[in-house]
Amino acid sequence: MDQQHSGLTKLLFVVLAFNSALAVHNSWGDAGSVAFVLAADAALVLLFRCLRELEFERGDGGGRGRSKATVWTLTTMLTAMFAARVAALMAPVVAAVVWAVAVATTGAGFWALFLHV
pLDDT digits (tens, 9 = 90+) for 50-97: 888 888 877 666 677 888 899 999 999 999 999 999 999 999 999 999
The percent of residues in the chain predicted with pLDDT above 70, rounded, is 90
Position 6 scores a pLDDT of 82
Largest CA distance in the chain: 48
Position 17 scores a pLDDT of 94
Q: How far is CA 31 from CA 34, 50, 58, 84, 117, in A?
A: 5, 28, 42, 16, 43
Q: How confident is the model at residue 1 (pLDDT cuts 50, 70, 90)?
A: very low
Round the average pLDDT of the chain to a whole number and report it: 89
